[in-house]
């Protein structure tokens, strides 16, 4: 049986059953991915959620600092209509490998179509839906829904507040170094299908 994000978080003891029910109700009302509902309700923070998914799905996590500082020449690697269709952002290009930020790295349809159209091998990276919506708005000049704008403001305010109560600044997510990308495992096609087959569709953030 396929495993959902809620199942994984529940089994890990990160959320409880009451929070599962609240998150599901929130999603029915407002839509979006279940991870966004969990962040919106304050049950998990965006960094913890993304890193949890990164470890479970075996894909790298991209933090907001790195996600929001991608150079224009990299953004231009992916046609705007394709980026908006699947809600993805090109992160970097290493030879014939396009590193792609996704809210749902288990979306094989997106990976296959983008790889076919661009001619690149696609390597997925994960980030929460709320940050991906923010990045799409910045890079492709799209409107950011009020719900997500409010979530971004609240999450950023929490980060600033937390930084004020620490002796040292909170570390940002480590950038992906070129050497790390060169050594990174390339998983495509049948291998990736097998890896994510145990997860339910729309599993992630």
Q: By CB neighbour count within 10 A (0-12 exposed, 13-18 middle, 19+ buried), where does 184 fall?
A: middle
Q: Pick 58-195's CATH classification: 3.40.50.10860, 3.30.300.160, 3.30.70.100, 3.40.1350.10.
A: 3.30.300.160
Placement of tokens 């495509």 in the chain: 188
Q: Report strand pairing: 121-126 vs 97-102.
A: parallel
Domain boundary assignment for the chain: 58-195
Tokens of 12: 């890990």
Tokens of 23: 């998150």
User: Cα 7–189–94 angle (5° rounding)?
Assistant: 100
**Considering only CA atoms, which of 142, 39, 171 is closest in space to residue 84?**
142
Please list the ranges in the chain whose pLDDT falls under 50.
Answer: 1, 170, 172-189, 192, 195-199
Q: How far apart are CA 112 and CA 168, in angstroms?
A: 43
Contact call for residues 205 and 9 (beta carbons, < 8 A): no
Q: Is the pTM of this model over 0.85?
A: no
Contact call for residues 15 and 9 (beta carbons, < 8 A): yes
Q: Which long-range contacts (CB under 8 A, 24 or more apart) does 74-77 make?
A: 75/139, 77/118, 77/120
Identify the pLDDT of residue 203: 52
To the nearest 10°, report the CA torsion of 129, 132, 137, 138: 150
Question: Quick one: how far is CA 16 from the chain centroid?
Answer: 23
Placement of tokens 């049950």 in the chain: 43
Identify the pLDDT of residue 104: 84
């Amino acid at each position: 049986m396929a495993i959902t994000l809620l199942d994984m978080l529940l089994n890990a003891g990160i959320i409880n059953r009451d929070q599962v029910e609240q998150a599901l109700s929130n999603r029915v009302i407002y839509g979006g991915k279940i991870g966004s509902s969990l962040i919106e309700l304050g049950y998990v923070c965006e960094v913890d959620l993304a890193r949890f998914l990164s470890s479970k799905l075996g894909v790298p996590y991209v933090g907001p600092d790195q996600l929001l500082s991608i150079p224009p020449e990299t953004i231009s690697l992916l046609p705007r209509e394709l980026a908006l269709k699947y809600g993805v952002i090109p992160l970097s290009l290493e030879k014939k490998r396009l590193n792609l930020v996704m809210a749902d790295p288990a979306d094989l349809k997106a990976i296959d179509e983008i790889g076919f159209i661009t001619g690149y091998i696609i390597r997925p990276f994960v980030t929460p839906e709320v940050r991906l919506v923010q990045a799409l708005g910045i890079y492709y000049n799209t409107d950011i829904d009020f719900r997500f704008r409010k979530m971004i403001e609240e999450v950023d305010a929490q980060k600033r507040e937390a930084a004020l109560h620490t002796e040292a600044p909170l570390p940002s997510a480590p950038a992906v170094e070129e050497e790390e990308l060169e050594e990174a495992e390339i998983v495509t096609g049948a291998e990736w299908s097998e890896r994510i087959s145990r997860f339910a569709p729309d599993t992630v953030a």
